[in-house]
């Protein structure tokens, strides 16, 4: 079952960026005027730029589809490859929406990223109480073989395991208590990577997590725990090729160049590439006003630390327009309905965040 470990080189991750997107005329009709696409500016500096989206938005909003086609060199299926979307019943797969995203990617000439094979959220209700010692391994094996197998050799990369670390759960190994952990123990993480590599030996396989970007003690501790997980995966010869840094940032975060660079060096020393996988910025101090400028500043501060690192190969935002941001639905965030976390506003007009991202790419050597 164990696939030969593969050290991805930067060009493995970037190769997809070389495919110039073909934008059909009907999509061009809605394109907004902007000087150069993020995808093009990033590709000039060896970085793959893209975003996450839903099949529903591609299908119902041609102007948004045009914006995606114009800006992106890679597209992530934001929700449509999750268990909740793919597994309506224990014995049935429904690829309708995932295939719609894959079809869109094919039409505009960019690769799709897979997100995500193993997560404790977005599980269908039939999973409740059904992931146990007896069922968990065959469930994972069937799921990963079927889903990864369907898109074999066609995806840019897979987020194989998502958010497996949570220090709040108090385990010595830093792992989160999830249904998969309770059923299979800590080895479920390596198992998932082995299953993914067996289903698509050419896929770039990513461990993806959040809360590791800023200068807080909590983020520092989590970075250490993530490195320890990577060490255990490497010791088990699990085929993990890249670290996905989600980067759901907020305007009150402070970033530390030294601490983050040390972490990126540690990741690179372990032979992994780095991808920024879910970038956006929530404003958690709305009373200060001037949200767009403060959001843009947070993008710049973070990207100026992470983009120049030799291991960083991709920069992916979690949506392109505020209109569809998941943060708008997050009731735990103050004034969530007024958040403006992404590069384009609700009417697809460019914002200071767009300029900040473009400028960060432009500053790269």
Residues 181 and 131 sit within 8 Å (Cβ to Cβ): no
Q: x/- site string to ligand G3I, residues 107 to 126, per CB under 6 A?
A: --------------xx----
Q: What distances in angstroms separate CA 19 from CA 64, 137, 276, one per listed residue?
A: 21, 37, 20
Whether 343 and 351 have beta carbons less than 8 Å apart is answered as yes
Residues 6+ apart with CB under 8 A from 244: 159, 206, 207, 208, 209, 275, 276, 277, 278
- Based on CB atoms, which residue is closest to ligand G3I, 311 or 317? 317
Q: Near ligand G3I by CB under 6 A, which window of 78-86, 195-203, 299-307, 342-350?
A: 78-86
Asked if 82 interacts with ligand G3I (CB under 6 A), we say: yes
Is 278 one of the catalytic residues?
yes
Q: What is the dihedral of CA 105, 107, 110, 112, to 10 degrees?
A: 20
Total residues found in the chain within this entry: 365
CA–CA separation, 287 and 305 (whole Å): 28
Which residues on neighbouring strands pair with residue 157, listed in sequence order? Answer: 113, 204
- Is the link from the previous residue into 62 a cis peptide, with omega within 30 of 0? no
* Site track for ligand G3I across 131-170, x = CB under 6 A: -------------------------------x--------
One residue of 71, 166, 214, 278 binding ligand G3I per CB under 6 A:
278
Of the pair 51, 251, the CB lying nearest ligand G3I is at 51
**Active-site residue identified among 59, 71, 121, 163:** 163
Alpha helices in the chain, H assignment, sequence order: 10-14, 25-28, 38-44, 55-60, 62-71, 83-86, 96-108, 136-150, 179-184, 188-199, 217-235, 257-269, 291-306, 352-363
Least distance between ligand G3I and beta carbon 278 (Å): 5
- Comparing CB distances to ligand G3I, the nearer of 263 and 326 is 326
Residue 252: closest CA among 281, 277, 280 = 281
Residue with tokens 């830093």: 174
- Picking from 160, 56, 147, 145, the residue whose alpha carbon sits closest to that of residue 93 is 147
Residue 121 annotated among the catalytic residues of the structure? no
Torsion 85-336-244-127 (CA) sign: negative
Measured from the CB atom, the residue of 93 and 210 that comes closer to ligand G3I is: 210
Active-site position among 59, 194, 256, 278: 278
Distance between CA atoms of 104 and 285, rounded to whole angstroms?
Answer: 37
Distance of CA 221 to the CA centre of its chain: 21
Q: What single-letter DSSP state applies at residue 16?
A: G
At a CB cut-off of 8 Å and minimum separation 6, what does 270 contact?
Answer: 227, 230, 231, 234
79 binds ligand G3I (CB under 6 A): yes
Count of residues engaged in binding ligand G3I, rule: CB under 6 A:
11
Which 169-198 residues touch ligand G3I, going by CB under 6 A?
A: none
> Which residue in 51, 78, 250, 333 binds ligand G3I (CB under 6 A)?
78
Question: What binding mask, one character per residue, do residues 203-242 give for ligand G3I by CB under 6 A, x or -?
Answer: -------x--------------------------------
User: In this chain, which residue has its C-beta nearest to ligand G3I?
Assistant: 326
Closest distance of CB 22 from ligand G3I, Å: 27
| 38-46, 74-82, 179-187, 282-290 -> range binding ligand G3I (CB under 6 A) | 74-82
| Least distance (Å) between residue 48 CB and ligand G3I | 19
The residue (of 12 and 278) whose beta carbon lies closer to ligand G3I is 278
Among 180, 326, 344, 361, binds ligand G3I (CB under 6 A): 326
**Residue 41 vs 147, nearer CB to ligand G3I:** 147
Positions touching ligand G3I (CB under 6 A) are 78-79, 82, 121-122, 162, 210, 246, 278, 326, 329
Active-site residues, by number, are 163, 278
């Amino acid at each position: 079952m164990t696939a030969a470990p593969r050290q991805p080189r930067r060009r493995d991750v970037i190769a997809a960026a070389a495919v110039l997107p073909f934008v059909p005329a009907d999509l061009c009709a809605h394109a907004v005027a902007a000087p150069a696409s993020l995808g093009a500016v990033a590709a000039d500096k060896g970085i793959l730029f893209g975003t996450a989206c839903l099949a529903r938005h591609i299908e119902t909003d041609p102007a948004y589809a045009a914006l995606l086609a114009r800006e992106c060199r890679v597209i992530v299926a934001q929700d449509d490859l999750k268990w909740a979307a793919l597994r309506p019943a224990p014995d049935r797969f429904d690829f309708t929406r995932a295939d719609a995203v894959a079809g869109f990617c094919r039409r505009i000439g960019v690769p799709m990223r897979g997100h995500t094979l193993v997560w404790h959220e977005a599980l269908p209700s039939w999973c409740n109480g059904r992931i146990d010692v007896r069922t968990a391994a065959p469930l994972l094996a069937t799921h990963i073989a079927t889903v990864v197998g369907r898109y074999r050799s066609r995806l840019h990369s897979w987020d194989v395991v998502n958010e497996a670390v949570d220090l709040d759960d108090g385990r010595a190994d830093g792992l989160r208590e999830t249904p998969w952990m309770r059923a299979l123990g800590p080895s479920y993480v390596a198992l998932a990577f082995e299953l993914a590599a067996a289903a698509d030996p050419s896929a770039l396989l990513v461990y993806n997590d959040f809360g590791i970007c800023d200068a807080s003690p909590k983020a520092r501790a989590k970075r250490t725990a993530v490195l320890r997980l990577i060490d255990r995966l490497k010791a088990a010869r699990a085929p993990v090729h890249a670290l996905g840094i989600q980067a759901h940032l907020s305007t009150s975060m402070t970033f530390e160049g030294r601490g983050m660079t040390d972490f990126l060096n540690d990741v690179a020393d372990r032979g992994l590439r780095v991808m920024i996988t879910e970038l956006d910025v929530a404003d958690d101090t709305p009373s200060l006003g001037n949200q767009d400028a403060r959001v843009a500043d947070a993008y710049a501060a973070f990207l100026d630390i992470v983009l120049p690192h030799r291991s960083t190969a991709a920069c992916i935002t979690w949506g392109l327009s505020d209109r569809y941001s998941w943060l708008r639905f997050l009731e735990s965030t103050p004034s969530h309905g007024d958040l403006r976390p992404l590069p384009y506003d609700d009417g697809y007009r460019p914002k200071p965040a767009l300029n900040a991202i473009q400028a960060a790419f432009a500053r790269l050597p």
